[in-house]
């Protein structure tokens, strides 16, 4: 058990991600570890990968139409715009590990089970409402491990494969295979079945985990605001509720709060820590600094804090927020965590990312070569993100780059600066070149 009471679990939560035709990604197949760092130039598609995972969470907690509209509509979500959407399927397929609450679905003595979940989306024309996104196919296989195609669960004779006894398959609103309690008017072309299935124990942890992934692109402007206290313990996508998160950690997880302060002190010379400042029913943050001349501690309000200091505090709060400590948040994604920081702070930031990955799966998107400069940076952490002819590829570091690092000829950061950090060519990458 950790400080937050999280049970021991197999890390990572999200093992494999396959994405087709979402924004700039035509055919992406990525395996993930406890820590994955997406490395690439600006506009290569790093944020699109994280957004595909965020899209899953939003569709499971809201609606498909809302999630598509929030991104600018069908033309912004489907890879090639509206011209080819009648035949183009948008697919997101995930292999995850979740805690099995029902002993009947546990893998032997382990309380954890492999799950394959995904969906295909298409665009249809509605005479009254125009073009609409709909669910073409959705599947969830519990205890099945990795399946490349949801259709593999149903045999040619229409019977379920005995290797995959629990789960469901839905096509165009019609339940093809599922437990008896999921048959009937529980699916529809405009909504997913998993939120309804979450009322039953086998599917509840799957829905809870996928809908609880947390993604952050922190904004100093947002974090400078004085906010009405909400009672929530989760950091908002742009760093909302930073003060409340820090205050809760100080009260409930003082050791973790002290670690955040240690990181802030290592990043910001003279800093002692960042704390919540309560103003009645409102919450803000303040920075504690030590005067080098007198040794006295001084406090600074958000308006006096630099963008880099606020960004560092927001990123650290995202990584160590209370619900990531107790397992309620299984995955944290952070975009450009190095923004506003001096290059010398990159090593400290990497330490924070690696430490956080011991209690929550972490995906970080960066274009910073400084973050990759450490000799102990493991090539297996990195995924090279590139854009070719409008198509994003995400691949492991190639063997040549690994050999150069192993021979101490260069760091991965050196290779990135010289544009020599190259991906291992996979089938999908090869097709795009």
The answer to whether the Cα torsion of 421, 424, 427, 428 is positive or negative is: negative
CB distance 36 to 381 below 8 Å: yes
Which pLDDT value is given to residue 319? Answer: 98
Q: What per-residue confidence (pLDDT) applies to 11?
A: 67
Residues 267 and 349: beta-carbon distance below 8 Å: yes
**Long-range contact set of residues 274-278: C-beta below 8 Å, sequence gap at least 24:** 274/246, 274/309, 274/313, 275/246, 275/247, 275/250, 276/243, 276/244, 276/246, 276/247, 276/250, 277/243, 277/301, 278/229, 278/243, 278/247
Among the listed residues 180, 182, 174, 178, the one whose alpha carbon sits nearest the alpha carbon of residue 164 = 178
For residue 425, the model assigns a pLDDT of: 75
Q: Name residues of the chain where pLDDT drops below 70.
A: 1-11, 80-87, 101-110, 126-130, 144-165, 185-187, 426-433
**Confidence at residue 287, expressed as pLDDT on a 0 to 100 scale:** 97
Alpha-carbon torsion angle 388, 392, 398, 402, nearest 10:
110
Structure tokens at 306: 């630099």
pLDDT at 48: 97
| CA distance linking residue 302 with residue 28, whole number of Å | 41
At which residue do the structure tokens 């990531």 appear? 324
The CA distance from 79 to 74, in Å, is 9
User: How many Cβ atoms sit within 10 Å of the Cβ of residue 157?
Assistant: 6
Predicted pLDDT at 79:
85
pLDDT for 88 equals 80
How many C-beta atoms lie closer than 10 Å to residue 169's C-beta? 21
Antiparallel, parallel or unpaired: β 331-335 and 214-216? parallel
Residue 427's pLDDT is what?
47
- pLDDT at residue 4 in the model: 43
Q: What pLDDT is stored for residue 185 in this prediction? A: 61
Decide: pTM greater than 0.85: yes
């Amino acid at each position: 058990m950790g400080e937050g009471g999280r049970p021991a679990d197999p890390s990572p939560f999200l093992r494999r991600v396959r994405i087709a035709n979402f924004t700039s990604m035509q055919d992406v197949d990525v395996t993930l570890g406890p820590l994955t760092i997406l490395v690439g130039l600006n506009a290569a598609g790093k944020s699109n990968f994280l957004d595909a995972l965020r899209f899953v969470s939003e569709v499971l907690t809201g609606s498909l139409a809302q999630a598509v509209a929030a991104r600018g509509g069908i033309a912004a979500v489907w890879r090639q715009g509206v011209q080819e959407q009648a035949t183009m399927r948008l697919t997101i397929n995930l292999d995850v590990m979740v805690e099995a609450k029902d002993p009947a679905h546990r893998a032997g003595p382990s309380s954890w089970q492999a799950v394959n979940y995904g969906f295909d989306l298409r665009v249809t024309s509605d005479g009254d409402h125009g073009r609409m996104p709909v669910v073409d196919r959705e599947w969830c296989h519990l205890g099945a491990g990795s399946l490349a195609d949801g259709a593999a669960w149903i045999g040619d004779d229409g019977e379920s494969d005995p290797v995959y006894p629990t789960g469901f398959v839905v096509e165009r609103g019609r339940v093809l295979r599922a437990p008896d309690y999921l048959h009937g008017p529980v699916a529809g072309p405009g909504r997913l079945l998993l939120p309804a299935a979450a009322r039953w124990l086998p599917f509840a942890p799957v829905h809870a985990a996928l809908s609880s992934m947390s993604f952050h692109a922190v904004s100093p402007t947002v974090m400078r605001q004085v906010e009405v206290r909400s009672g929530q313990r989760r950091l908002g996508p742009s760093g909302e509720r930073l003060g409340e998160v820090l205050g809760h950690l100080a009260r409930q997880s003082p050791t973790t709060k002290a670690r955040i302060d240690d990181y802030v002190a290592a990043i910001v010379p003279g800093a002692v820590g960042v704390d919540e400042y309560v103003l009645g029913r409102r919450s803000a943050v303040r920075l504690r600094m030590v005067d080098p001349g007198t040794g006295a501690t001084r406090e600074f309000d958000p308006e006096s804090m630099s963008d880099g200091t606020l960004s560092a505090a927001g990123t650290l709060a995202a990584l160590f927020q209370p619900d990531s400590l107790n397992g309620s948040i299984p995955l944290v994604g952070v975009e450009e965590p190095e923004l506003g920081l001096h290059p010398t702070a990159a090593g400290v930031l990497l330490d924070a990312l690696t430490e956080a990955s011991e209690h929550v799966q972490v995906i970080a998107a960066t274009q910073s070569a400084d973050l990759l400069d450490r000799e102990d940076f493991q090539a297996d952490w990195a995924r090279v993100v590139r854009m070719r002819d409008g198509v994003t590829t995400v691949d492991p570091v190639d063997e040549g780059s690994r050999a150069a690092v192993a021979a101490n000829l260069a760091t991965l950061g050196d290779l990135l600066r010289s544009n020599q950090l190259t991906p291992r060519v996979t089938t999908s990458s090869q097709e795009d070149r």
